[in-house]
Amino acid sequence: YPAAREAQLSRVAEVHDRIADAFAQRSKDELTAHVLASLTLSALSLTYRVWFSQGKKEIASAVQKVFAELSKSICED
């Protein structure tokens, strides 16, 4: 789905700033807000990739798969 990917990428900077502004209201500093915004957009982008590759109607299984892998990667001992 190249058109969907292109549409997503065309607005990344604007969306990043809006997400960072939202996180800034609850973050201790600007860097933390931007880190959280970047992680949010990365997880969203990866979720879209998984969803498209699975070819399923519902996105929920892709979301679960991405967050399970993220959790496993971050929390691994």
The mean pLDDT of 31-47, rounded to a whole number, is 95
Quickly count: other Cβ atoms within 10 Å of residue 51's Cβ: 20
- How much is the pLDDT for 2? 80
* Number of domains composing the chain: 1
Q: 66-77, pLDDT tens digit by residue?
A: 999 999 998 876
Structural domain boundaries, residue 20: 2-75
Phi/psi of residue 27, nearest 5 degrees: -100, 160
pLDDT of residue 6: 82
> Which one-letter amino acid corresponds to residue 8?
Q
Fill in the amino acid letter for 67. Answer: F
pLDDT band for 63, please (50, 70, 90 cuts).
Answer: very high
pLDDT per position as a tens digit, 7-26: 777 888 899 999 999 999 99
